[in-house]
A and B are shown apart, each in its own frame.
Chain A
Amino acid sequence: MNKGGVGLGGGAGGAAGPTAAAAAAAAQKQKTLLQRVDTDIGNLVDNFGFLVNVARVNDPPVRNSQESFMMEMRAARMVQAADSLLKLVSELKQTAVFSGFASLNDHVDQRMEEFNKLAENTNGRLARIGEEAAASLKELESHYYSSTLRTSAPE
């Protein structure tokens, strides 16, 4: 849908600083979305109202069958309106997830901090391991070289 493109473009422009064009585009997009929502909801309500109204049983059976065709048509319209509402909702979700740059940036910063901390921890741990290994090596060497393996001179 092109409106998403507009949103992303608007969002990207917003990264540099909220320019007037970006703000206008965003407002326009919001208006469009609201319009769509209204249309769809109106559709739903109208069609359902008609369905309820047509519940009356008429005498000439021809009117009944006419009404039954109309009812099917209204029902189909209702379902289609619901579907387009759902699409709208998913579009909004997408935009929120993938163009919410403030939250994305925050999240990225947070992850970077986490990873940096992890890296530091790992480095610290490696250094500690190295120190421990060096200390152990020293101890082991002194033990080995003063042990009976060595003091009994090899003949």
Chain B
Amino acid sequence: MDGDLEISLDKLPIKRLEALEENGLERFPADLGYDEKRVNLIRRIDFAWAVEREDPSKKQKSEGASAKEGTATSQQQWPWQSLVENLQLAHQELSVIIDLINTVEANDAVTVAGMTRPKQLPNEHLSDLAVSTATKLQCFRNLGKYFKQSAKSLEEQIAREARFYGALIRLQQNWKIKRHRLVAAASGNEGFYIDLFDNSLYDSAAIFRPSSLSTIPIEHDTAGMLAVNLPRKSCHSLQFEVLGLRSASNLGKAGETKTPVGVNDSSKEPGKEHASNDERVREIHLTLREVHRAIHDEQVFDLVNREACNPSIGVNLAGIKENYLRLSIGQGASVSISLVPSSQDDETYGASHRITTETSCVPSESVDGVKLGGVDKPKKLGIPSPLGFEIYLRQVFHEHVFVKAKNKAMSSSRSQISSQPPKDNSNILGHFCMSLAHRIFSNKVLSVLENLVYRTPNVHLVSHPTWHSRTSSWTLSVKIPQSILHAGSQIPMSTAGAVKNIRSPFWTRVVVIDDSIRVEGEGSPNVVGLFRGRPDSVSSINGYDCDLVDLPIILLQQVASQIIQWLHEEALTVGIKANRDFLSLAFELDQGEIVRLVAHVDPEDTQGCISWWLTVDDGVVEEHKLHPDMSDVESESRKFLGYLSLDVLYSTLLDFLNLCSC
């Protein structure tokens, strides 16, 4: 159908002039009411085209009329006002039409044949298409952005996880990592933790309480990286003190272990992540090592406690408190072992192996205090190295309890048997205390020996390391000077013998076991032989026990008798007739006089321990040696020779060669 529905925008319904009277009065049409207007509008609907062909002239006429009248009304103040009102009227017309259609339809009289949209022009169609395409493109672009974003975040998540698991795997190479399923479900933390508990110890009879440090949770820190957080002051370590006077050596405070970093520092730049990852793992290793050590210390302390409370040899419990134990080890010293929390703050020394060495070895001080010739005997001699003993305590417990437990658990024949099993397998603490006591005692013995040797010429002190914690040994040997040996070879020997048997230096061995001293020596006087008046028959080696107080005098007597023995042999070699007594050598002169060379030993003598006297007997044997006090007063029969060295003695001997008749 070619009849178009046209809407004509009519001129404004301003008051149109209806008529103009002669007297110039303008008559306007009466205002119509709203309904009237509607009715008029309805009436205006021209159904003529449906009935007959529309008259194009009529149309044009009305269009022209409306155009004309439209221009007349163009002089309005607001140019759009007319448009707006026309649109409103058009809207009303449309609503009228629709109502009409509905009414008609409702009456079933007329049905709407159809409504068609005017056919779109091609450019409109294309523009619609363009808009849709653009919208779709925009949609896809948004999707693309979304995908990129999620890809990036997923990659970051992967990288983070890779770092976390990389660190975890590296930790796993050294530590036992386990997982709590329930904790994982609850906290979303994956529930990993490091288990530092040692299962092998549960097999042994002792029941260890599992330390609170045994499980350490692994967490993410703020950057998503692996972190291990320890509560502060939770680690304890052993503190070992030998109590008594304070000494100068304050070992152990030097930061032997680095400060363990409890909380990881997440303020590192992302660019240094790789390097910091390594550092982080290393720090965590250190932290865990600290915790492991703390657990070990706790267990050692536990063992020490248990053993201390059982009465056993060598262990004397002097005091006990929570985390503190004091044992007295004899020798006037006592040891305190305590568990102290190791400080994890950033102090100069993070590790708290604070060991102050204090010892009250009074007896040794009296010997040490003797200052000779400007030589200041260091007080350190009396003090055992505290760090060494701390390490030894740990080592001995580790070896005999932990390693044994492990070996038992593994039931392997490969056992690390130490070179010195304790005397009593279950008395480790006793062994340790006795070792400590022995060390203090042997230091005293050593100072005594050194003192003696210092003041005695031609005597050498040789130490023999025994590699046993409760045994020490030294040798005092009389070394014959080279000059005498050479000289001796030039003197014609009366005794046959192609090669002069160079006597090995006389030796005296001092062995200290725990706190008992044993002296063994060559050429020591045979007491029985003395009583029989035949001092020549000396047994080759004699040994006897003594204590520290008697040690100097016994050693000096030994040395002096060895010297006398040697002089005697030399005299016989040279051809002098001489008789040997305990500490004297008697020569018979031409006139029948007996000249004695007597050795006098005095450990307290500051100038020398062995002094030599010359006594002349007129045939009357005087038991000079029985006189307790040999005063320095020289008399006719007694002459003080001094503190002679071996070559002087030898030359003295040779002087006698001229005097003696043989």
Q: CB within 8 Å of B: which residues of A? A: 2, 4-5, 8, 51, 55, 57-59, 61, 64-65, 67-68, 71-72, 75, 78-79, 82-83, 86, 90, 93-94, 97-98, 104, 107, 111, 119, 130, 133-134, 137-138, 141-142, 145-146, 150-151, 153-155
When the two chains form their complex, are residues A150 and B457 in contact, meaning their CB atoms are under 8 A apart?
A: yes
A40–B139 alpha-carbon span in the complex (Å) = 25
Given contacts A75-B143, A79-B147, A153-B645, contact A86 B158 (CB under 8 A): yes
Residues in B neighbouring A83, C-beta threshold 8 A: 154
In whole Å, how far is B265's beta carbon from the nearest beta carbon of chain A? 26
The reply to whether A141 and B463 contact each other, CB–CB distance below 8 Å, is: yes
Q: Are A153 and B462 in contact (CB under 8 A)?
A: no
Q: List 21 A-B contacts (CB under 8 A).
A: A57-B133, A59-B128, A59-B132, A61-B128, A64-B132, A67-B139, A68-B135, A71-B143, A79-B146, A79-B150, A83-B154, A93-B165, A97-B165, A97-B172, A130-B467, A138-B463, A142-B462, A150-B454, A151-B645, A153-B645, A154-B608
B44 touches A (CB below 8 Å): no
How far, in angstroms, from A148 to B132 measured CA to CA in the complex?
A: 113
By secondary structure, the A interface counts as helix
Q: B463 — nearest CB in chain A belongs to which residue?
A: A137
Say whether B174 contacts A111, CB under 8 Å: yes
Instruction: Kindly report which residue of chain B lies nearest to residue A150, judged by CB atoms.
Output: B457
A131 CB to closest chain B CB (Å) equals: 9
Let me know if B154 and A82 touch, CB within 8 A.
Answer: yes
A8 to B: closest C-beta gap in Å = 7
Known: A61-B135, A145-B461. 7 other contacts (CB 8 A): A55-B136, A61-B128, A61-B132, A67-B136, A71-B143, A98-B177, A154-B455
A141–B147 CA distance with the chains assembled, in angstroms = 83
How many angstroms between the C-alpha atoms of A12 and B461 in the bound complex? 65
Q: How far is the CA of A93 from the CA of B143 in the complex (A)?
A: 31
Contact among B157, B169, B416 for A97, CB-based, below 8 A: B169
B168 touches A8 (CB 8 A): no
B interface, by DSSP: helix, strand, loop or mixed?
helix
Evaluate whether A64 and B135 lie within 8 angstroms (CB atoms) in the complex, with A72-B143, A142-B460, A154-B372 already known: yes
- The verdict on B129 contacting chain A, using a C-beta distance below 8 Å, is yes
Q: Is the CB of B147 within 8 A of A57?
A: no
Across the interface, do B373 and A154 meet the contact criterion of CB distance under 8 Å? yes
Contact in complex: B177, A75 (CB < 8 Å): no
Are B643 and A75 closer than 8 Å at their CB atoms? no
Q: What CA separation (Å) do A61 and B608 show in the bound complex?
A: 123
Which residues from A are CB-within-8-Å of B147? 75, 78-79
Contact B165 A94 (CB under 8 A): yes
Interchain CA distance A68-B142 in the complex, whole Å: 10
The interface residues of chain A lying within 8 Å CB-to-CB of B133 are 57
What is the minimal beta-carbon distance from B191 to any residue of chain A, in angstroms?
A: 10
Asked if A141 and B460 make an inter-chain contact with CB atoms under 8 angstroms apart, the answer reads: yes
CA distance A113 to B158 in the complex (A): 35
- Say whether B233 faces chain A, with CB atoms less than 8 Å apart: no
The answer to the question of B490 belonging to the interface, with a C-beta cut-off of 8 Å to chain A, is no
Q: Give the distance in Å from the alpha carbon of A141 to the alpha carbon of B172 in the complex.
A: 51
B618 CB-CB contact with A under 8 Å: no
Whether the pair B173, A61 counts as a contact (CB closer than 8 A) is: no
**Residue from B173, B179, B455 within 8 A of A111 (CB atoms):** B173
A83–B151 Cα distance when bound, in Å, is 10
Identity of the chain B residue whose Cβ is nearest the Cβ of A58 in the assembled complex:
B132
Which residues from chain B contact A154 at a C-beta distance below 8 Å? 372-373, 454-455, 607-608
Q: Which residues of A contact B158 (CB under 8 A)?
A: 86
B131→A51 contact, CB < 8 A:
no
In angstroms, Cα B458 to Cα A146, docked, is 8
Whether the Cβ atoms of A137 and B465 lie closer than 8 Å is: yes
- Asked if B161 is at the interface of the complex by the 8 Å CB criterion, the answer is yes
A130 touching B135 by the CB < 8 A rule? no
Are A145 and B479 in contact, CB atoms less than 8 angstroms apart?
yes
Report which of A57, A86, A150 forms a contact with B132, defined as CB distance below 8 A: A57
Bound-state Cα–Cα, A93 to B169, Å: 11
Q: Closest residue of chain B to A89, judged by CB?
A: B158
Chain A's closest residue to B643 (CB) is A153
Instruction: Indicate which residue in B131, B453, B457, B479 contacts A153 across the interface (CB closer than 8 Å).
Output: B457
Q: Please report the C-alpha to C-alpha distance between residue A4 and residue B136 in the assembled complex, in whole angstroms.
A: 44
How many angstroms between the C-alpha atoms of A97 and B177 in the bound complex? Answer: 10
Q: Judge whether B179 and A98 touch: CB under 8 Å.
A: yes
Report the nearest B residue to A51, measured CB to CB. Answer: B143
Residues of the B chain whose Cβ atoms lie less than 8 Å from the Cβ of A58: 132
Contact of B179 among A8, A67, A130 (CB under 8 A): A8
Give Cα A72 to B145, complex, Å. Answer: 11
- Are the C-beta atoms of A146 and B460 separated by less than 8 Å? yes
Q: Are B131's CB and A61's CB within 8 A?
A: yes
- Contact yes or no, B129 A57, CB < 8 A: yes
A145 touches B607 (CB 8 A): no
Tell me the bound Cα distance from A138 to B131 in angstroms.
Answer: 103
- Smallest CB gap from A90: residue in B: B161
Contact A64 B461 (CB under 8 A): no
What CA separation (Å) do A51 and B142 show in the bound complex?
A: 13
Bound CA–CA A58/B454 (angstroms): 115
Specify which chain B residues have a CB less than 8 angstroms from the CB of A75 in the assembled complex.
143, 146-147
Give A8 to B135 CA distance when docked, in angstroms: 52
Contacts of A130 on B, CB cut-off 8 Å?
465, 467
How far apart sit A61 and B132, CA to CA, in the bound complex (Å)?
6
Q: How far is the CB of A38 from chain B (nearest CB, A)?
A: 20
Most A Cβ at <10 Å: residue of B139, B174, B457 = B139
Residues of A within 8 A of B154 (CB): 82-83, 86
Distance of A88 from chain B, by nearest CB (Å): 13
What residue in chain A is nearest B135 (Cβ atoms)? A64
For B169, the chain A residues whose CB sits under 8 A away are 97
Are A68 and B479 within 8 A (Cβ)? no
User: Is the C-beta of B140 less than 8 angstroms from some C-beta in chain A?
Assistant: yes
Given contacts A58-B132, A79-B150, A134-B465, contact A145 B143 (CB under 8 A): no
Contact with A along B118-144 (1 / 0, CB 8 A): 000000000011011101100110110
Given A57-B132, A145-B453, A145-B479, CB of A68 within 8 Å of CB of B139: yes
Q: In the assembled complex, which residues on chain B have CB atoms less than 8 Å from the CB atom of A78?
A: 147
Closest to A2 in B: B181
Residue on A nearest B192 in the bound complex, by CB: A98
**What CA separation (Å) do A120 and B168 show in the bound complex?**
29
A92 to chain B, nearest CB (A): 12
Residues of A within 8 A of B453 (CB): 145
Known: A130-B465, A137-B463, A145-B461. A68 touches B372 (CB 8 A): no
Give Cα distance in the complex from A58 to B174, angstroms. 64
Q: By the criterion CB–CB under 8 Å, are A86 and B157 in contact?
A: yes
Contacts of A133 in B (CB 8 A): 465
Given A61-B128, A61-B131, A79-B147, A141-B461 contact (CB < 8 Å): yes
Select one of B373, B457, B463, B608 contacting A151, CB under 8 A.
Answer: B457
Which residue of chain B lies nearest to A137 when distances are taken between CB atoms in the complex? B463
Q: Mark B162-183, 1 if CB is under 8 A from A, else 0.
A: 0001001100111001010100
Provide the residues of chain A in CB contact with B142, threshold 8 Å.
72
Q: How far is the CA of A50 from the CA of B625 in the complex (A)?
A: 124
Min CB gap B553→A, angstroms: 20
A126 to chain B, nearest CB (A): 10
With contacts A86-B154, A142-B462 taken as known, whether A4 is within 8 angstroms of B132 at the C-beta atoms is: no
Distance of B411 from chain A, by nearest CB (Å): 15
- Return B625 CB to nearest CB of chain A, in Å: 24
Interface positions of B from 594 to 644, Cβ below 8 Å from A: 607-608, 643
